[in-house]
């Protein structure tokens, strides 16, 4: 049956409209749960607020369990889902830069736009930095291109690379998530409370 759009259960033309609706809801939920505050986001690195870790870990675990149940029951063909292509060194270097930016600025790109929408000045500066970064990247593109296009491994997943059993992987992944939650609660109790 699913995915709905590739199998023409929803016409392709609805793609952008659905994307906009999901985007609005996503932005609303981000803002409503306080993710437009850079202090909350940076809290995960200083150990006084693990909301980010919990939210994204829970989202990943719940969706992967749900997707595999739907695949098992035949509502969704998991092989038809889009797998983002892996450019190994591009991903590693880009991830490191993004991580530094995350710790230093206290936003990820999505939450920074959320914070821009509610008028936070640090977010304005942050988005300005993003635009500056995009400009620099474009100007240096010829120089960066070998890394950008190189080390291409295809649309691979961990299951393809290590030939793991996905079901066992999901089970172990959820155990890791729960352990991480418990550990983050433990750390949070030890750290001095920060009010923001």
Q: Which residues bind other proteins (CB under 8 A)?
A: 61-62, 65, 68-69, 72, 167-168, 170-171, 173-175, 177-178, 181
41 vs 51: CA distance, rounded Å:
8
Q: Nearer Cβ to other proteins, position 27 or 166?
A: 166
Phi, psi of 154 (to 5 degrees): 85, -175
Q: Nearer Cβ to other proteins, position 64 or 147?
A: 64
Within the chain, residue ranges assigned H as helices are 15-32, 38-46, 51-73, 88-105, 109-117, 121-139, 141-149, 158-162, 166-190
Minimal distance in Å, beta carbon 105 to other proteins? 31
Which residues partner with 154 through β-bridges? 86
Minimal distance in Å, beta carbon 68 to other proteins? 5
Q: Nearer Cβ to other proteins, position 127 or 177?
A: 177
Q: Nearer Cβ to other proteins, position 71 or 122?
A: 71
Minimal distance in Å, beta carbon 145 to other proteins? 26
Q: Please list, in sequence order, all residues whose beta carbon lies within 8 angstroms of the beta carbon of residue 5, skipping any fewer than 6 positions away.
A: 11, 12, 14, 15, 18
Minimal distance in Å, beta carbon 174 to other proteins? 4
Q: Nearer Cβ to other proteins, position 143 or 168?
A: 168
Q: Nearer Cβ to other proteins, position 77 or 122?
A: 77
CA separation, residue 80 to residues 44, 47, 95 (Å): 34, 39, 26
Nearest to 76 by CA among 11, 13, 1, 148: 1
With H, G, I as helix, E, B as strand and everything else as coil, classify residue 163: coil
């Amino acid at each position: 049956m699913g995915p709905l759009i590739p199998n023409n259960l929803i016409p392709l033309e609805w793609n952008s409209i659905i994307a906009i609706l999901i985007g609005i809801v996503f932005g609303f939920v981000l803002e409503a749960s306080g993710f437009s505050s850079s202090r909350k986001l940076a809290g995960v690195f200083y150990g006084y607020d693990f909301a980010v870790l919990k939210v994204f870990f829970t989202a990943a675990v719940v969706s992967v369990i749900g997707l595999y149940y739907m695949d098992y029951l035949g509502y969704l063909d998991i092989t038809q889902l889009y797998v983002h292509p892996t450019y190994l060194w591009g991903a590693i270097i880009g991830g490191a830069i993004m991580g530094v930016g995350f710790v230093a600025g206290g936003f990820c790109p999505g939450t920074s736009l959320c914070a821009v929408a509610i008028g936070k000045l640090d977010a304005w500066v942050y988005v300005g930095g993003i635009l500056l970064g995009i400009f620099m990247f474009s100007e240096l593109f010829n120089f960066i291109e070998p890394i950008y296009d190189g080390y291409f491994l295809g649309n691979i997943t961990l299951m393809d690379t290590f030939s793991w059993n996905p079901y066992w992987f999901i089970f172990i992944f959820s155990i890791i998530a729960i352990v991480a939650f418990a550990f983050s609660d433990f750390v949070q109790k030890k750290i001095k409370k920060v009010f923001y």
